[in-house]
Amino acid sequence: MRQLRIEDLDDLATGAAVLGTGGGGNPYRGKLMAELAMRETGPVTVLEPDELDDDALVIPVWNIGAPVCSMERIHKGDEGLRALRALEKFLGRQVAAVSPVEVGGSNSTLPLRVAAQTGLPVVDCDGMGRAYPEVHMVTATLFGVPVTPGTVVDAAGNCVYLETADNEEAERLARVVCVQMGGTASMAAFSMSARQLREAMIPGTLRLAQRIGGTIRQARRSHTDPVQATLEITGGLRLFEGKIVDVERRVTRGWAKGHYDVQGKDEVLRVDFQNEFLIARTLAGRVLCTVPDLIAAVDTQTGEPITTENLRYGYRVTVLGIPCDRRWRTPEGIALGGPGHFGYEGSYVPVEERVN
């Protein structure tokens, strides 16, 4: 058990932005929202997964939608809380703790806000070790935990209860609801016992995000290369360096979809995204990295991670490839979170094998 304080949020948000691979919601806003709640109620208690009783009920909470929507359409502020309470009521059981489902981006900090609002502890784990654009793309799906029953809540006061045939259907229906709610909404779902959680989720990812953020901060302070420091702590690889020369981005069916092109010394790298960066390949067709491995774009000089909504013509970026959690590298993991899921041909090859 440990306490997470307002002073810890900066490092957490920076690290979460690296793990967010461009998506996961804007980390700055998420951080501010957690901070405002914590200013009123104090630090949040963070539990390790094995500190909970086997039967304790854990409910993950997160935001879904397109990053550009969450950046413009700031929330009312109680969406996550209402989603949690509605699901609790539906289940007829009291929740023992909340958890992140996605450590990448602002979904690392939304559970902290809800924890501060409720006084509940947060479990240090998530179901991705990164960010993914779809509701069911969570390690818990690989271990048979159903997404639903779940709730989707918006600013206007709407709450939609979902009970679906399977996890893919949950994604399909939640997405339609989210688009109608303005392209950004809060969810509570994937409720599970602590026993299930210990098997189905990735432990320690909040701490990992904090460590990544702390490493970048220290590298900047000591004038060592923050990009190199990021690579060392994540086990990542430098894929490409250059200037952004094109960004195409549109909100399609509730996601920010598009690509950006980076002009390097003698070739152009194109990175496709659906909220998160999916595949990095040269215009000549050489693939450098694909999901489920993490692709991050960072400012070449400061190491600041750049999210899809902030990509801009002219930025000097370094594109990094970071090996994903081992749970994604099983055949089931690749089927759910690999390139084929997003319609890309060719089989998944781990980034370290592609680059070396």
Partner 1 sequence: MRIGIDVGGTNTDAVLMDGQRVLAKVKTPTTPDVTSGIATALCQLREDQPGAHVDAVMVGTTHFVNAVLERRDLAPTAAVRLCLPAGQALPPTVDWPDELRVTIGSHAFLAHGGREFDGRPISPLDAAELRDIGRRIGERGIRQVAVTGIFSPVRPDDEEEAARHLLDVLPEADISLSHTIGRMSLLERENATLLNACLRPLARKTIEALTRALKDLELDVPLYLTQNDGTLMSSEYAAAFPVLTFASGPTNSMRGAAFLSGLRDGMVVDIGGTTTDVGALVAGFPREASVFVKIGGVRTNFRMPDVLSLGLGGGSLVSEDGGQVGPRSVAMRLTEEALCFGGKACVATDIAVASGVAEVGTHPVSLPASRIECARQRITAMLEEAIDRMKLISGDVPLILVGGGSILVGSNLKGTAEVVRPEHSEAANAVGAAISQISGEVDRVYELTKRIREDVLDEAKAEAVAKAVSAGARVDTVEVVEVEDVPLSYLPGNATRVRVKAVGNL
- Residues in touch with partner 1 (CB under 8 A): 28-29, 32-33, 36, 66, 68-69, 71-77, 155-157, 182-183, 223-224, 246-251, 299, 301-302, 304, 306, 309-310, 312-316
CA distance 231 to 223: 16
CA distance 108 to 287: 29
Least CB distance from residue 49 to partner 1, whole Å? 29
Q: Which is nearer to partner 1, 2 or 259 (CB)?
A: 259
Least CB distance from residue 333 to partner 1, whole Å? 32
Q: Which is nearer to partner 1, 76 or 93 (CB)?
A: 76
Q: Which is nearer to partner 1, 223 or 353 (CB)?
A: 223
Least CB distance from residue 56 to partner 1, whole Å? 29
Q: Which is nearer to partner 1, 15 or 49 (CB)?
A: 15
Least CB distance from residue 51 to partner 1, whole Å? 30
User: Which residue type occupies 259?
Assistant: H
For 185-196, b where at least 16 C-beta lie within 10 A, e where not — what string?
bbbbbbbbbbeb
Given a contact cutoff of 8 angstroms between Cβ atoms, the answer to whether 55 and 330 are in contact is no
Sign of dihedral through CA atoms 197, 203, 207, 208?
A: negative
Q: Which is nearer to partner 1, 85 or 354 (CB)?
A: 85
β-pairing, 150-153 vs 159-162, is: antiparallel
Tokens coding 143? 């271990």
CA distance 99 to 60: 4
Task: Establish whether the linkage from the previous residue to 305 is cis, with ω within 30° of 0.
Answer: no
Q: Which is nearer to partner 1, 315 or 328 (CB)?
A: 315
Phi, psi at residue 283, to the nearest 5°?
-60, -20
Least CB distance from residue 208 to partner 1, whole Å? 23
Least CB distance from residue 152 to partner 1, whole Å? 15
Give the relative orientation of helices 27-41 and 9-19 as an angle to the nearest 10 degrees: 150
Q: Which is nearer to partner 1, 311 or 351 (CB)?
A: 311
Least CB distance from residue 174 to partner 1, whole Å? 17
Least CB distance from residue 341 to partner 1, whole Å? 24
Give DSSP secondary structure letters for 264-276.
Answer: -SS-EEEEEEESE
CA distance 227 to 254: 32
Q: Which is nearer to partner 1, 91 or 247 (CB)?
A: 247
Report the run of H or E that residue 70 belongs to, with start and end: helix 67-72
- The gap from C-alpha 73 to its chain's centroid, in whole angstroms, comes to 19
Reference 206, options 142, 96, 128, 138; nearest CA is 128
